Structure 1
Amino acid sequence: MGDKMDLAVDVVALKGTYEQVGFKQGQDWKRDERIEFTQEMTKHCDVNETKSRLMEYMPFLLEELKGVAAGLGMKEDMAIRMFSGFDVTFPQMGCTAFASETFYVRNYDFSPELYDARFVFCNPDDGYASVGFSQQMIGRLDGMNEKGLIVGLHLVNERHHRTGFLGTTIVRMILDQCATIQDAVHLLQNIPHGYCYNYSIMDRSGESVVIEASPNHQVVRSQNQVMCTNHFEMDVLRENNRPEISQSKTRLNHLEHLPKQKLTPLLAYQLFNEEESPFFFKDYQEYFGTMHTVVYDPMNLSVTVGIGGDCEPFEFSLKGWVVGDIELPNVINGVFDFSR
């Protein structure tokens, strides 16, 4: 593989009915080499139960998956099993997020082998427009919608598992259906969770919270400025943490110094994206290398993105895209350094 790897992240624009959105994604899907891996991850999924749960909580995604199946030339049941995010096994990942009163910044840590490499602008007819990084096609790792609601996921423990939805599908639900933190909290407390995740959330009012969510409990942790990594802090949920959380705690300790620095969005991007930063990692072969840095601005509906480390930021406007004032590039390029 060498010490460095180039990666082009596709910039995807989706508009129309949910079925049309799904069909375009199915047609354009380029990650054929991951089909077998995805099938293995989802082999225990009960399609009938998945359909029932989707109809109960997110029927719009069932329509999207119908379109995905048609676009891929795949049976609908197979597309539902592979891309719904219901009853899925998943390797561990890491994420670090900080939210001030005016912006939200985050690094997502994983592996290029399993990364969708898709930055998606989506404006469905019956849901809120949003922008964010996809996972398993229809899911989102993080994102911001037209109401200025921002959400990112942080996997806490992949070993505590129950039949339920993957965090990436839940993030997508929030972006499409929720306008405020209160909406998001209500949704998170009323759906079946498959794993233990933190959800860091901010809305246009400047309010921010962390929702600590296990399959059994969901607890709201309010903070003036969100600082979130990959472990639970609330007493009722700490037993769900991984046995070793020292690295997650170390990152959290570094975050606690940020409020004193009076960061601007650009300074926050630079701090998180620098390869020497305490928030940046190169453990790509252990599923813990920084894939992207992103800053969301809920007031301006702008987003700043970097793929890999030490890269010039790419800037986008969700509002500008929705009203048709801007054209999107086809890709965002980045470089990953595998040396340590």
Structure 2
Amino acid sequence: MEQIQAAIIQARGNAYQIGKKTAAAYTENPILQQFSQLSFLRNDYEEIKAIFSNYAPHLLDEVKGLADGLGITQQEAAVLYSGYNMPRPQALGCSAYVDQYQYVRNYDFSPTLYDHCLSFIAPEEAYGSIGYNLQLLGRHDGVNEKGLAIGLHFVSNSGYQKGLSAWSVIRMALDMCETTQQVIDLFKDLPHAAGYNFSVGDAKGAYAVIEVTPKKICVRSSIAGLSCVNHFKHGDLEAFNRHDMTSSAKRDNFILNTDTSKMTQKELFNLFANPASPLFFDDYDHLFGTLHTFAYSFQTRQLITALARGNLLEIDIEDWFAGRDLKIDTLYGTIKKEPIP
């Protein structure tokens, strides 16, 4: 067994101040060395500025805060952390369930390519949000102060083109959107780099799976809740799926055949977070181990989250957005690093 942890970042103020506080939390984080290797790959600063200025201008101020906090130029910070025109990921596994009452998901990947940060932010220029960081600025998943919850699910690199990463568009959705429909409209406008599913739900009871490719977007809905894994289900996008969808289909079938509609939030959380669950994985050496579970109730506004086999964080998000900071600064978990045959 090996211990993992995630720093809890709590930041309020303008976007620049949030960027600077985020940078301070990363100064000893070894993930910075991995991201620094991207700097020589491309220089798309003007394109990044144009996209952010159009859709989320405050993020340019946050990038400036990151730059000043890390002692690099704003151009370097934008290239490294904007999530624009990144190298193609070859894996990522995530499972989710969403209905009008609650949202839950697992994030599965490798701890060596994980930011190990959970951010609570309240920027003056955008909606506040709570979510796990990816590449500093982006988010794996999260919920914002309006009760919008969203997460990413990698599908494939088929049709890959220059564009925004999934974690960057999630951050934009959390910052700028209140409803599921607003996320759908935003995603139809943004330049996407790769094929991803996005599971999303809002406080008004609307929820969907947005199936995204660089060329086309389809929306999946249901009156009985939705499962979301790592393949497209819409007929127009099936050609973009990976050849081997065995794991994705197996997880999807498990969720579909489980009566999730009668589960409490804690029961649904445990369905995903229990190491004995078919939705929990230990294959970290092959980029497929469960790192965190994230569950949100649209009715009670209760957030439950934990790292793998870790201590639970349970909060009413309204408490934090009302100004009451958490009294802990780290989440802890334990992973079992044994490849699964």
- Category of TM-score, reference length = shorter chain: over 0.9
Is the Cα–Cα contact under 8 Å of residues 99 and 105 in structure 1 kept in the other structure? yes
Q: 2:12 aligns with which of 2, 12, 15?
A: 15
Q: Which residue of 2 aligns with 1:38?
A: 35
Partners of 1:212 and 1:93 in 2: CA distance: 16
How does 1:291-306 map onto structure 2 within 5 Å?
291-306=291-306
> Could you tell me how far 1:119 is from its partner in structure 2?
0.9
Partners of 1:286 and 1:159 in 2: CA distance: 21
Partners of 2:42 and 2:278 in 1: CA distance: 38
Partners of 2:42 and 2:308 in 1: CA distance: 34
Partners of 2:180 and 2:106 in 1: CA distance: 21
Is the Cα–Cα contact under 8 Å of residues 100 and 298 in structure 2 kept in the other structure? no
Partners of 1:85 and 1:281 in 2: CA distance: 27
> Could you tell me how far 1:261 is from its partner in structure 2?
6.1
CA deviation string 1:163-208 (max 9, x = no partner): 1100001001000100011111110111100111101010112221
Is the Cα–Cα contact under 8 Å of residues 11 and 328 in structure 1 kept in the other structure? no
Q: Which residue of 1 aligns with 2:307?
A: 307
Matched to 1:306, the amino acid is A
Partners of 1:159 and 1:108 in 2: CA distance: 22
Is the Cα–Cα contact under 8 Å of residues 162 and 194 in structure 1 kept in the other structure? yes
Q: Which residue of 1 aligns with 2:207?
A: 208
Is the Cα–Cα contact under 8 Å of residues 311 and 331 in structure 2 kept in the other structure? no
Runs of 5+ unmatched residues, structure 2: none
Is the Cα–Cα contact under 8 Å of residues 229 and 251 in structure 2 kept in the other structure? yes
Partners of 2:32 and 2:317 in 1: CA distance: 31
CA deviation string 1:69-109 (max 9, x = no partner): 00111111110000000000134201000113211111100
Q: Which residue of 2 aligns with 1:250?
A: 250
Q: Which residue of 2 aligns with 1:237?
A: 237
Q: Which residue of 2 aligns with 1:98?
A: 97
Q: Which residue of 2 aligns with 1:113?
A: 112
CA deviation string 1:35-58 (max 9, x = no partner): 342233452342222222222222
> Could you tell me how far 1:274 is from its partner in structure 2?
1.1
Task: Out of 323-332 and 62-71, give the one that drifted further.
Answer: 323-332
Q: Which residue of 2 aligns with 1:88?
A: 86
| Residue 77 (structure 1) aligned with residue 42 (structure 2) | no
How does 1:21-60 map onto structure 2 within 5 Å?
21-30=18-27, 32-41=29-38, 43-60=41-58
Is the Cα–Cα contact under 8 Å of residues 146 and 301 in structure 1 kept in the other structure? no
How does 1:126-205 map onto structure 2 within 5 Å?
126-158=125-157, 160-205=159-204
Is the Cα–Cα contact under 8 Å of residues 165 and 193 in structure 1 kept in the other structure? yes
> Could you tell me how far 1:324 is from its partner in structure 2?
2.5
Report the 3-state secondary structure (helix = DSSP H, G, I; strand = E; otherwise coil) of the residue aligned with 2:152.
strand
Partners of 2:151 and 2:273 in 1: CA distance: 17
Matched to 1:255, the amino acid is I
How high is the TM-score relative to the length of structure 2? 0.94
Task: Out of 324-333 and 123-132, give the one that drifted further.
Answer: 324-333
**RMSD of equivalent CA atoms:** 1.5
Partners of 2:116 and 2:29 in 1: CA distance: 13
Partners of 1:196 and 1:328 in 2: CA distance: 39
In the superposition, relative to structure 1, how do residues 288 and 159 fare at CA in structure 2: closer, same or farther (>3 Å)? farther
Matched to 1:303, the amino acid is L
Is the Cα–Cα contact under 8 Å of residues 92 and 158 in structure 1 kept in the other structure? no
Task: Out of 68-77 and 40-49, give the one that drifted further.
Answer: 40-49
Partners of 1:326 and 1:55 in 2: CA distance: 31
Is the Cα–Cα contact under 8 Å of residues 6 and 335 in structure 1 kept in the other structure? yes
> Could you tell me how far 1:269 is from its partner in structure 2?
1.2
The percentage of counterpart residues that share the same residue type is 32
Is the Cα–Cα contact under 8 Å of residues 149 and 178 in structure 1 kept in the other structure? yes
Partners of 1:70 and 1:290 in 2: CA distance: 33
Partners of 2:324 and 2:69 in 1: CA distance: 28
| Residue 268 (structure 1) aligned with residue 264 (structure 2) | no
Matched to 1:158, the amino acid is N
In the superposition, relative to structure 1, how do residues 119 and 36 fare at CA in structure 2: closer, same or farther (>3 Å)? closer
Matched to 2:167, the amino acid is T
Is the Cα–Cα contact under 8 Å of residues 260 and 268 in structure 2 kept in the other structure? no
In the superposition, relative to structure 1, how do residues 237 and 159 fare at CA in structure 2: closer, same or farther (>3 Å)? closer
CA deviation string 1:98-156 (max 9, x = no partner): 11321111110011101111111110001111111110011010011111111011010
Task: Out of 107-116 and 50-59, give the one that drifted further.
Answer: 50-59
In the superposition, relative to structure 1, how do residues 50 and 324 fare at CA in structure 2: closer, same or farther (>3 Å)? closer
Report the 3-state secondary structure (helix = DSSP H, G, I; strand = E; otherwise coil) of the residue aligned with 1:189.
helix
Runs of 5+ unmatched residues, structure 1: none
CA deviation string 1:206-225 (max 9, x = no partner): 22100000000011111221
Task: Out of 320-329 and 199-208, give the one that drifted further.
Answer: 320-329
In the superposition, relative to structure 1, how do residues 54 and 219 fare at CA in structure 2: closer, same or farther (>3 Å)? same
Matched to 2:226, the amino acid is V
Partners of 2:157 and 2:34 in 1: CA distance: 17
Report the 3-state secondary structure (helix = DSSP H, G, I; strand = E; otherwise coil) of the residue aligned with 1:258.
coil
